Amino acid sequence: MSSPSIWSSIFVLLITVVYKVVGWGPIDPTKGFISQHLNRSNLVIQWPYDVPEDERYSFKRGVHKLWVFKTDKPHTPTSKTKPRTEIRVQGNDYSSGVWQFEGYVYVPYGTSGVCIMQVFGSIPPQASTLMLRVYNGTLSYYRTPVVPNIYGRWLKLNVVHDVEGRRVEVYIDGVLKYEATGRGGPEGTSHYFKCGVYAQNDASYYMESRWKKIRVLKKCQ
Give pLDDT, residue 60. Answer: 97
The predicted model gives 166-191 an average pLDDT of 88
pLDDT band for position 183 (cuts 50, 70, 90): confident
DSSP β-bridge partners for residue 192: 120
Question: Of the given ranges (120-129, 169-178, 179-188, 200-209), which has the lowest mean pLDDT?
Answer: 179-188
Domain ranges of the chain: 33-219
Per residue in 9-37, pLDDT tens? 454 344 444 444 555 679 999 999 999 99
User: Given pLDDT bands bounded at 50, 70 and 90, which one contains residue 126?
Assistant: confident
Q: What is the percent of the chain where pLDDT is above 70? A: 87
- Using 50, 70 and 90 to split pLDDT, how confident is the model at 189? confident
> Which secondary structure element, helix H or strand E, spans residue 206, and what is its range?
strand 206-219
When the pLDDT of each residue in the chain is averaged and rounded to a whole number, the result is 90
Which pLDDT does position 3 carry in this prediction? 53
Res. 186: pLDDT tops 70: no
**Count of helix runs (H) and strand runs (E) in the chain:** 1, 15
Closest Cα partner for 59 from 68, 67, 51? 67
What pLDDT score does 16 carry? 45
What is the mean pLDDT of the segment spanning 133-154?
98
Which candidate, 144, 121, 134, places its Cα nearest to that of 202?
134
User: Which one-letter DSSP state was computed for residue 97?
Assistant: S
CATH 3.40.50.1110 fits 33-219, yes or no: no
pTM, 2 dp: 0.87
Q: Answer yes or no: is pLDDT of 162 > 90.
A: yes
The pLDDT tens digits for 70-125 are: 999 999 999 999 999 999 999 999 999 999 999 999 999 999 999 999 999 988 78
